[in-house]
Structure 1
């Protein structure tokens, strides 16, 4: 193995923060603290977030690290019963060291995965103030607590793309290289990426210019897909990759990558095993159906393909140049690495959620990829993430467990 290839550490591009209760209280004027997201307690002593007249208890499935699978539960969990790494960046680093996680990109919780909380607020102006407060906190306090150990992920005001572009530029100047976006804005009451009026153009033009990655977490449409109204939750959860595959196909046929050639997206917590099939299927559909679609013929109530040149669209090349898949533990995905591409795969640990492999993160990934060339292993473990997010991690402080 080359002396430059350290395979004892990974970079996780999908972890989560349970925001510390004082996040907004510490940063906003005293007069605004009661209307900003803050924590209150009920008669039983259970804590919950309050914002815009609504109460939000913490789900137990969002903070399971340190618990056995037999203890998992979606019931509300107070902060006093959470592992400190859930909400404390210094304690998190200790847990990262234990699991071989060199660096981590963290999605928010109370704001939801792409800041939907603020886009639904009655007072959008104050919502934007709270959103900017979060962005400053994630860059300065969370990431600043351990330089080189965290990749800052910012939020944008989904309700105002021009304002979003300005916020992206402001945060890029502070070192941010990625922003959270929805896998499907339609359920949020927002235009899709296919909007003929170009609703999202300011955002993606800014992303293209600033080279900021759009990170789209599964569930960022605020929906859990249902196979049927009475389908069991476990069946629906296992079926969840449908959301991510839908996002990938939507983007491939959107024309966005043709218009914004430096734009890149990461499909967080979507796994990768399904990618070969849907890439193949997309090619088949393009080959057989593009001629009548180009003529403007509509099929039932489906939209046409107005923004993409179907004659020059290359599904595989578009995927290779713009789309990145992320996996926690995906045997079939790794078996299909020749189809997906070793440059388009990153790993994640989902700390502290119930899908997490913590504290065995590095062991799980290395067992999946140990048969691959060491250069390929390095790309999957950390190299691809470092390149995509233009991130230089800190030197590993200790040897990871093996």
Structure 2
């Protein structure tokens, strides 16, 4: 197994960089940061630029993982665990969408072209619409998308170049892979969590990848992950 380190950055950027460097020295392949910063903060804040620069220099992909949001008011069950409603679960990609939007539309990936971010476990199907809306907003709403790229790029171009996406079982998302970018999609079974495809992973993959060319299947189930993490 290859591990991913956990790093909390917030306003302790230098400490976060030190933790990321230590993770790299230990042989870990990347680090996970919160899917979104503290309430009322966003990842377009210039204070994070040192961290992005260090991740690019070290070559550490940054994971934005489902469930790492720190909401202001969490509902607790009697056993002390956090609970969420069905509606919240159906919209759980909101936080990563918000963070990716801030990273892309503020020019983070233009300033740090070799930075790689991984959208973990939020599935795929929502991505084409989100990429399209970012492009439309950037082109048509210049008063809102005030940062203008120096490169001849659109927001969706940066999404395809700098962001990878993991999923478990999203057939509609696979059918939209040409829009998302087949070189950016990575399958995982999420064992041993409740939403894991184990022990039915082979059946699930055979169903959702049935019409996908073999070369693309290879990229999705292993090749893209190997390339991203230098495995």
Q: TM-score range by the shorter chain?
A: 0.7 to 0.9
In the alignment, what sits opposite 1:337? 177
Query: Partner of 1:321 in structure 2?
Result: 161
Inter-partner Cα distance in structure 1 for 2:34 and 2:183? 23
Residue 270 (structure 1) aligned with residue 95 (structure 2): no
Could you report, residue by residue, the CA deviation over 1:119-148 in whole angstroms, capped at 9, with x for unpaired residues? xxxxxxxxxxxxxxxxxxxxxxxxxxxxxx
Partner of 2:42: 192
Question: The residue matched to 2:9 in structure 1 has which SS?
Answer: coil
Cα distance in 2, alignment partners of residues 251 and 203 from structure 1: 13
Higher radius of gyration, 1 or 2:
1
Matches within 5 A, 1:74-93: none
Moved more, 252-261 or 153-162: 153-162
Which residue matches 1:154?
5
Q: Which has the higher mean CA deviation after the structures are superposed, 327-336 or 347-356?
A: 347-356
Task: Determine whether 1:211 maps to 2:63.
Answer: no
Higher helix proportion: 2
Which stretch has the larger CA shift, 265-274 or 251-260?
Answer: 251-260
2:36 match: secondary structure: coil
Contact 1:225–1:239 (8 Å) recurs in 2: no
RMSD over aligned CA atoms reads 2.3
SS at match of 1:167: helix
Indicate how the Cα distance of structure 1 residues 157 and 183 shifts in structure 2: closer, same or farther if over 3 A, else same: closer
After the TM superposition, which residues 273-288 of structure 1 pair with which residues of structure 2 at under 5 Å, given as runs?
273-288=125-140
SS of structure 1 residue aligned to 2:57: helix
C-alpha separation in 1, matches of 2:158 and 2:116: 10
| Matches for 1:210-359 after TM superposition, within 5 Å | 210-223=58-71, 233-290=85-142, 292-293=143-144, 305=146, 309=149, 312-359=152-199
Residues 193 and 254 in structure 1, CA contact (< 8 A), matched pair in contact too: no
> Does the CA-based 8 Å contact 1:181-1:216 persist in structure 2?
yes
Is the 1:370–1:377 contact (alpha carbons within 8 Å) kept by the matching residues of 2?
A: no
Q: Which residue of structure 1 aligns with residue 78 of structure 2? A: none
- Of 218, 226, 230, the residue aligned with 1:386 is 226
User: Contact between 1:225 and 1:240, CA under 8 Å: does it hold in 2?
Assistant: no
Farther-moved stretch of structure 1 (380-389 vs 310-319): 310-319
> What is the aligned length?
221
Indicate if the aligned counterparts of 2:8 and 2:34 stay in contact, CA closer than 8 A: no
User: Alpha-carbon deviations, 1:73-95, whole Å to 9, x = none?
Assistant: xxxxxxxxxxxxxxxxxxxxxxx
Residue 346 of structure 1 contacts residue 381 of structure 1 at CA under 8 Å; is this kept in 2? Answer: yes
Query: More deviation in 366-375 or 215-224?
Result: 215-224
Matched, 1:201 2:49: yes
Q: Distance in 2 between matches of 1:176 and 1:340?
A: 27
**Contact preservation (8 Å) 2:23, 2:31:** no
d(CA) in 1 for partners of 2:97, 2:223: 24
CA deviations 1:244-277 (Å, max 9, x no partner) are 3223222221211111111011111110001111
Which structure 2 residue ranges, 5 or more long, are not aligned?
75-83
**1:326-376 C-alpha deviation (Å, 9 max, x unpaired):** 111101101101111110100121222221111112321232112111110
Equivalent-residue separation in structure 2 for 1:171 and 1:269 (angstroms): 22
CA distance in 1, matches of 2:222, 2:198: 17
CA distance in structure 2 between the partners assigned to 1:317 and 1:293 by the alignment:
19
Preserved contact between residue 38 and residue 70 of structure 2 (Cα < 8 Å): no
1:224 CA drift (Å): 9.7
Alignment gaps of 5+ in structure 1: 1-149, 227-231, 295-304, 392-402
Q: TM-score, normalised by structure 1?
A: 0.51
SS for the counterpart of 2:102 is helix
C-alpha deviation, 1:310, in angstroms: 7.2
Cα distance change of structure 1 residues 386 and 311 upon mapping to structure 2, 3 Å threshold: closer
